[in-house]
Chains A and B, each alone.
Chain A
Amino acid sequence: MAEEIKKVGLLEGAENNPDNLLVVKNLKKYFPIKSSFFKMTVGNVKAVDGVSFAIKRGTTMGLVGESGCGKSTIGRTILRLQDKTEGEVYFNGKDLFALSKDELRKERPNIQIIFQDPYSSLSPRLPVGEIIGEAVREHKIVPPEEFDDYITRVMEACGLPEYAKSRYPHEFSGGQRQRICIARALALNPDFILCDEPVSALDVSIQAQIINLLRSLQKEFGLTYLFISHDLSVVEHISDTVGVMYLGNMVEFAPTETLFKNPLHPYTEALFSAIPIPDPDYQMHRIILEGSIPSPANPPKGCKFHTRCRKCMEICKYADPNFKMVEDEHFVACHLYNTEEENKIAQRLTEEAKKAEKEEAENQKNGKKK
């Protein structure tokens, strides 16, 4: 049933809307599982399994979810650091995966990334000025005579002193290194920066410095962020819209305020109830999810969340829910919010699936007898 409606698409023509900087449509990324012998493909890890969203210019979208739910894979696929399996990614109205090598190279400065670990993402052999300036020279962002001034200006914007230019990364603390990473991304004058857990390796007091820096840079340069994090309080602080992921699917997407005030999907509810609040008088009403996230190589049938869901119904076990708009700009993928028509389709699918299951079981029995 999902297929039937997804084809119509929530984001029909969204790539033509100049407001949207990045549009991702039904993106899929499967990693093949190879058998050790003959390197045959024996299955797929469905890291990202049909995700669609759009980010408006100058806004921040947060992407949250447990580890292994495919957040980072989405990021890397959008940047074309790895190939997609299916789907489309439009950046500024252009399909990124349709670009040739040369065209992509021209587009690259506009899309930048900040990695999670500032300790391993900086080359230990290059001085900081060179780390930041390498790509600037390569892409000829400024004429050679202005190069030095430009790097100093970028570093200043990120709160790095000028004398840091000739230093090597090992001389800096974690927070300073993350500033270098930000400066490196910013130096190319990008429209879009993908922040892949930029603060999770840092201490609380340094986290605040980096978050404030990212926000002030956004205001100054009109940047658009995709902010991937597992820390919900950070995401709430920095994002305009938030997408919640579970096992390769997006289960809920809404403006931050709406989402945090009124989470609709049972998973989002449980996730939010688990956030520790720094107030000893606050009574926590944790919704404890049983078990852990299933393997993406062998995801459950129907709604992927049904194995842990408190509100699981019969149809959830067989029919895949639609990702659709329930309220204004509030998207959710859950059977709880089905229309009657959708319920009917789901019911039909469930019965069909059950029938098929029965037949298969009988076949197996018969097969054994023979």
Chain B
Amino acid sequence: MSENKHTSYISGKESRRITKFNRKVTKKLESERANANKDPQLYTTKMKDENNVVEFDNVCTFFFTEVGTVKAVDGISFEVPKNSTVGVVGESGCGKSVTSLSLMQLLQRPTGQVVGGEIRFNKGDGTAYNIVNTPNSIMEQIRGNKMSMIFQEPMTSLNPVFRIGDQVDEAIILHNPDMSEEDVKARTLELLDMVGIANKEGVYSMYPHELSGGMRQRVMIAIALACRPELIIADEPTTALDVTIQAQILDLLENLKKKIGSSIMLITHDLGVVAGMADYVVVMYAGRVIEKGTADDIFHHPAHPYTIGLMKSKPVVGKKVEELYNIPGSVPNPVNMPNYCYFRDRCEMQCDMCSGKYPPSIKISDTHVVSCYRFYDEKNVIEYPKTVNPEEL
């Protein structure tokens, strides 16, 4: 909310202009996608590091909405190494879910589009998919098979008219068409057992409404694990659950990770959950990565003022403080982002450079990278985030 009274209103003329522009851009992007179908060269690249499962490289995901172009994800780079858990933390609207949806190609098209950068997904044979350009037919083989997703709300992500068994079976049959019916069922029961459902035969023939929230989330996890994926994306897997059930699910995820050896990308706003689970942490703010590093770096030596503020503003059991620290103000309007550091207006540690360009990512230790001018040093600058100007598309 700003002092200017009419910022949230758009004139008819302006609105027509935006609609016309959106139509033009999305049409062009869609036709480019259609062309990419033909040539596998267009969507095959090489990983920077073979030990990573996924590499995000300056990914830009924009939404062409009626009020203007929303830069939901604006040039983010991070990687998910093999056999590790990466926690993505941030407030609502900071782009963490959009990041995962871009990776799964589940964005609401044509409004939402990945307009720039590369998302490299390791094939395992020295080459990689560039998810941004991969056509749907290939994506169908990857999705659910090589990477799968656990959604936030187990209540709404299971189909109410199919039995649990059928829903787990479906994922297996789709990616293993040669498997016999008995084998599929045996595998489903094995999965249900693995996620800690005691009455697996019973649950196999139940409908989702007969299960509690925690049980439904277990079924969701079973579906995600069906094809032994290399990457599991858990998008706020415990937010809709109670504390005691949350403990059950987190325990389960931790054990499963050890058992099947896949990577987990854990998206959450709860720092406590991340601390217990993650090896690496990525902190996002307003569509950009502002800090990334190992869990130890982030929790014991937070560098970005936003991360520091976030840590201090959450009450912690056993540590009594008289008054909680609060970060003043709120997130800037995503349609109209400033051209200086997005956090400057809320920051209490500003320096002179903050009013200039958006800060580059700066290396402060081997594993720890932060985007803040407080640590600015010519030698350690990695790169400035590359964004895409929607007008040039």
Contacts and interface: CB of A to CB of B under 8 A. Distances in A.
Contacts of B316: 233, 277-278
Contacts of B300: 280
Contacts of B320: 236-237
B272 interface: yes
Interface residues of B, number: 49
Contacts of B315: 211, 233-234, 236-237
Contacts of A172: 1
A2 B243 CA distance: 29
B324 A208 contact: yes
B15 interface: no
Interface string B237-252: 0000011111110110
B98 to A, nearest CB: 16
A363 interface: no
Interface in A264-298: 270-282, 284, 286, 288-289, 292-293
A204 B275 contact: no
Interface residues of A, number: 46
A280 B323 contact: no
B243 A275 contact: yes
Contacts, number: 129
Interface in A162-198: 163-164, 167, 171-173, 175-176
B375 interface: no
Interface string B312-334: 01111110110111111010000
Count chain A CB atoms within 10 A of each CB in B1, B8, B325 and give the residue with the most: B1
A308 to B, nearest CB: 9
A5 B378 CA distance: 75
Contact of B243 (A163, A232, A236, A281): A232
Given A209-B326, A277-B272, A203 B317 contact: no
B31 to A, nearest CB: 37
Interface in B87-138: 91-92
Contacts of A286: 247, 250-251
A205 interface: yes
Given A230-B243, A233-B317, A278 B275 contact: yes
Contact of A204 (B247, B310, B321): B310
Contacts of A173: 1, 330
Count chain A CB atoms within 10 A of each CB in B212, B243, B311 and give the residue with the most: B243
Given A280-B295, A288-B248, A208 B275 contact: no
Interface of A: 66-67, 163-164, 167, 171-173, 175-176, 203-209, 211-212, 215, 230, 232-234, 236-237, 260, 270-282, 284, 286, 288-289, 292-293
Given A176-B1, A280-B295, 8 more contacts: A204-B310, A208-B314, A212-B324, A276-B273, A277-B276, A278-B272, A282-B276, A288-B247
